[in-house]
Structure formats: C-alpha cells, structure tokens
Structure 1
Amino acid sequence: MTGRRRWSTEEILDTAAELLRTSDAESFSVRKLAAALGTDSSSLYRHFRNKTELLRAVADRILLAAMDDYRPEGDWKQRVTATALRLREAFGQHPQLAAIWGRYASGGTGSRLVMEEILQALRAAGLPDAQIPSRYHRIVILLAALIAADAGIDTLTPVEYEQGMEQFRVAVLGADPDRYPALAHFAREIRPLGVDRRAAFEEILAAHLAQIEAAIP
C-alpha cells in the first residue's frame, strides 16, 4: 500500500499563498489547505500549530522576498524609502496577504531583515538610541496602513472598482452646496482613493521621515 505523500513546509506555504490570492484570512482554513494538498489537517499541524502561525509564516515569505538581494544604498531616508517601496511592491503582487501582515505580525527571517534595516537606518540618521524604538514603531504602523490600503483597492474586481468610482462621482460631484459647501467647492479637484497611489505613498512617507529628521539633535 502506497503511503500518503509528506508535504514539505515550503510546499505547504506555496499552496497556502496560492489559496490566499483568491480569499481572505477569515475564509481561509487549514481544512481547505489540506483539501488542496490532498491530505488531512492533522498532517499540516506537524508543521504549524494553528492557522495563525501558518498565516504568519506565509506573510513572512513576502517580507523575505521583498528583501531578497537588498543592499543598503544612500542616506538613512533613502534606505527607509527603498525598504518601504520593496514591501509595497511585494505585497502588491499578493494583495490578500497585506492585511494579514498587519494583523498577524511575523517573527520570521523576513520580518527580522526588515526590522534590522529600518533600525540600522534610524541609527545612521543620528537619532539617540532611546528614540529609535518608538520611531521604528511609527514607521512600521504607517507602512502597514498604507500597504493595506493599496491592497484593499487591488483586490477589487473591475466591476467593483467601477461601481466604487460611480458612487464617488455621485457623492462628490452631486454634493449639495448648501449642506456640504467645502465639498462642493473642491469637488472637481478631489481625487478618488485609488488614483495616483504610488505618489501619495511616497509623499506621505517622505513627510513622516522629514518629521523624524527635524527631531535629530
């Protein structure tokens, strides 16, 4: 009798990432993953204790891919920006995993590489050591929020996106000037959330880094 195939950790994570391309963390389950692999859930629990640990491992692989072949270049702001753009690009290819990263913090190799580079960059900026952990924390919160917002738009179907655009036009261009005078005044200049996201991402990050720079002794 042929024994059941044993899947490697990497094969399990590959399949999990593929399933998460078309579903979110709530609908994803170890049972569904086991079915996709043609095995039972108990065999997967030899690799991961629970669903949360599995999701953390999948998200960490995105961080690891983002930092692959990375070499620090430029000043501290350029280093933080380069790291941030790598994360944005990596999660842009796996938008369903962006929210998972923000929700299920990873402690794997990919996470350590990101943490190390941002912490080293902040040290290179000349910040006192006492300030670096809190500055690091705020940078990561900002990046997680911006990347998750990007991903939320990227996961929309073309039909859903067009419906959202239509609702935006009705809400903004059709605003009653008596009730919403400021909105009516700026209506033709207000842009939908999904427009020009890369420039907005870089501008918001640059403004935050400028704030840090102003606090350097």
Structure 2
Amino acid sequence: MKPLTSARRSPAQPTSGRGRLDRGTIIAAGLKLASNPGSSSISVRELGALLDADPTAIYRHFRNKEHLMRELLDELIGRSVAAVTADPQDWRERLTQLASATLDLFSRYPAIGVEAIVLTTHGPGELDAVEFMLDAFSRAGLAGDDLVRHYALLASHVLSSAAGIARERNQRGTQADQMSPWFEGPLHADPRQYPLIASVSTQITELEDEDLFLLGVAAVIQSAERTVSLTQSA
C-alpha cells in the first residue's frame, strides 16, 4: 500500500477589508478566534469584526453557523492526519501520532474541538482520517467486521476524549500543551463506607488527562493485536 497523505491546503491568513472574503480567509479567521485564551465558542459577529466585514457576508460562503463549525472541525482533523510522520508500516506509531495530534489541535482550538462530540463533518479531513485509520488497522492484519469495529472504537475514543480534555483545559486555563489532573482536587472518602476508594485515592488524584487518553489508544491497539493473533491461530 502507498502511504496516505492529505491533499488539504492550509487556509489563507485573515485579511481585513470588505469585499475580499473567501472560504479560506473565513476559516483562518475562525481558527484565530478559537485560539484566543479562554475562548469557548465562535460567534459570527466576532468573526465579522475580525474580518472587517458584515457578519451576514459569511453566510454567502457557509449555509449557517453549523456548516461553518463543520468546516472548521474538518480543518483540524485534516491537520491531525497531516501531522503524522511515522512510516506507514509502523501502524501502531501512526495511530498514536494521529491521536496525539488530534488532542494537541483540539486543545489549541477548544472552541472548535468541542464540536467533535456532536458533529460529523463528512469533509475531506474526516475522510482522510477514516482512510488513515482503516489503512493502519489493515496493515495490522484486521479485515471485515474486526477492521470496522477497531476503527470505530479508536475514532470514538480519540474524538470524544480529546474534545472533553480540550474543554476541561480551556475552563481551567491550562496551557494547551500541559497535562491536567484527571480528577480535580483531593478525593475525600470515609474508608469505612468506601474502603476501595480510600485505598487508592492518592493514585486517582495523580492521574493526568493525556496519560489516560494515550492509555485508551494503547488499549485499542492491543485489542487489534489480540484479534489478529486469535484469527491467525484459529
């Protein structure tokens, strides 16, 4: 198989001035807004102000706000695929790099990343990512239903978990590239009523979001390896 590459191009940089809007310029402006510290959403009004354009002009290029958010999310997903550098034969590392890049981008643009919980883009970025994961699991030796299940399991974990972590980091004001505790604050539990919680409370509060995120990725990869081994031995 040939290595997968993304054909997506980076959007143009935002420019000011009325009458010069295009889809790439609007996408770039949306990314800029989403990267502002503490940004939890993108408003068309703010977008118009950044572009020095009437907000309604944006709807000449996007049907509605949801369409715009789909395109912005698709841009991030496409960038995640493009960030992978591992050799195509090293399918484990490629999947891990894709997951890490997704978490990084969602954390840097949380107002867009959180949309992955509710939106499916159907765009080129998403299609690149689906093909990428299917290719990786195919190289692992999976086929048919096993291939589809493992792709779906990994995609669900990466998108939902990365979106949740991005939102949590943004609310806490944590830097995009800094891990946050998985459980906020000390875990107080009466050992007489909750003996197991009390016995591991320190370990629970020491857990960090990115470590657990990557542990989930590793679990899916290990499941793929076990499935291939069982299939070959049957």
1:206: which partner in 2?
Answer: 218
Secondary structure of 1:112's counterpart equals helix
Q: Does 1:168 align with 2:168?
A: no
4+ runs deviating over 6 angstroms: 164-167
Q: Equivalents in 1 of 2:72, 2:147: separation in Å?
A: 28
Query: Where does the alignment leave 5 or more consecutive residues of structure 2 unmatched?
Result: 1-16, 175-180
2:5: which partner in 1?
Answer: none
Contact kept? 2:83, 2:101, Cα under 8 Å: no
Post-superposition Cα deviations, 1:96-145, rounded to whole Å, max 9, x if no partner, equal 32211232222222212211111111111211234322321111001112
Q: Does 1:19 align with 2:33?
A: yes
Q: Equivalents in 2 of 1:92, 1:43: separation in Å?
A: 29
1:184: which partner in 2?
Answer: 198
Post-superposition Cα deviations, 1:19-70, rounded to whole Å, max 9, x if no partner, equal 2334334xx3323322332322331111000111100111111122223364
Q: Equivalents in 1 of 2:184, 2:85: separation in Å?
A: 44
Aligned pair in 2 of structure 1 residues 166, 209: CA closer, same or farther (>3 Å)? closer
Q: Equivalents in 2 of 1:167, 1:127: separation in Å?
A: 39
Which residues of 2 match residues 31-70 of structure 1 at below 5 A? 31-68=45-82, 70=84
Report how many residues are paired: 204
**What is the identity, as a one-letter code, of the residue corresponding to 1:168?**
G
**What is the identity, as a one-letter code, of the residue corresponding to 1:66?**
S
Output the TM-score relative to the length of structure 1.
0.80
**What is the identity, as a one-letter code, of the residue corresponding to 1:204?**
G
Q: Equivalents in 1 of 2:183, 2:217: separation in Å?
A: 29
Measured after TM superposition, the shift of residue 203 of structure 1 is: 2.0
Query: Where does the alignment leave 5 or more consecutive residues of structure 1 unmatched?
Result: none
Measured after TM superposition, the shift of residue 192 of structure 1 is: 5.0
Measured after TM superposition, the shift of residue 165 of structure 1 is: 9.8
**What is the identity, as a one-letter code, of the residue corresponding to 1:206?**
A
1:153: which partner in 2?
Answer: 168
Aligned pair in 2 of structure 1 residues 156, 84: CA closer, same or farther (>3 Å)? same
Aligned pair in 2 of structure 1 residues 115, 99: CA closer, same or farther (>3 Å)? same
Q: Does 1:144 align with 2:159?
A: yes
Contact kept? 1:123, 1:129, Cα under 8 Å: no
Contact kept? 2:140, 2:224, Cα under 8 Å: no
Aligned pair in 2 of structure 1 residues 41, 158: CA closer, same or farther (>3 Å)? closer
Q: Relative to structure 2, which stretch is displaced further, 116-125 or 92-101?
A: 92-101
Q: Percent identity?
A: 26
